[in-house]
Amino acid sequence: MTQSAPSSSDTRPPRRPGPPGSPWAAGGTMFAGVLLFVDGVLDVFKGIAGIASDDVYARVRNYTFKFDVTAWGWIHLALGIVLMIVGLGILRGAGWARFVGVVLAALNIVANFIWLPYQPVWAIVSIAIDTFVIWALCTSRTRPVV
Domain count, the chain: 1
- 36 or 122, which is more confident? 36
Instruction: Report if residue 108 sits inside a domain.
Output: yes
Sign of CA dihedral 17, 22, 23, 25: negative
Instruction: Report if residue 21 sits inside a domain.
Output: no
Dist. CA 43–CA 108, nearest whole Å? 9
Instruction: Report if residue 19 sits inside a domain.
Output: no
CA dihedral 128, 86, 30, 107 (to 10 degrees): -20
Dist. CA 75–CA 67, nearest whole Å? 10
As a whole-number percent, the residues of the chain with pLDDT over 90 amount to: 31
CA dihedral 81, 103, 133, 94 (to 10 degrees): 70
Please name the helix (run of DSSP H) or strand (run of DSSP E) that holds residue 86, with its range, or none: helix 69-91
pTM attached to this predicted model: 0.72
DSSP sequence for 97-134: HHHHHHHHHHHHHHHHHHHTTT-HHHHHHHHHHHHHHH
Instruction: Report if residue 18 sits inside a domain.
Output: no
What would the pLDDT profile of 43-95 be if each residue is shown by its tens digit? 899 889 888 876 555 566 666 666 677 888 898 899 999 999 999 999 898 88
Instruction: Report if residue 3 sits inside a domain.
Output: no
Sign of CA dihedral 63, 69, 75, 80: positive
Instruction: Report if residue 98 sits inside a domain.
Output: yes
Instruction: Report if residue 23 sits inside a domain.
Output: no
Q: Which domain holds residue 102?
A: 31-139
Instruction: Report if residue 42 sits inside a domain.
Output: yes
pLDDT at 8 over 60: no
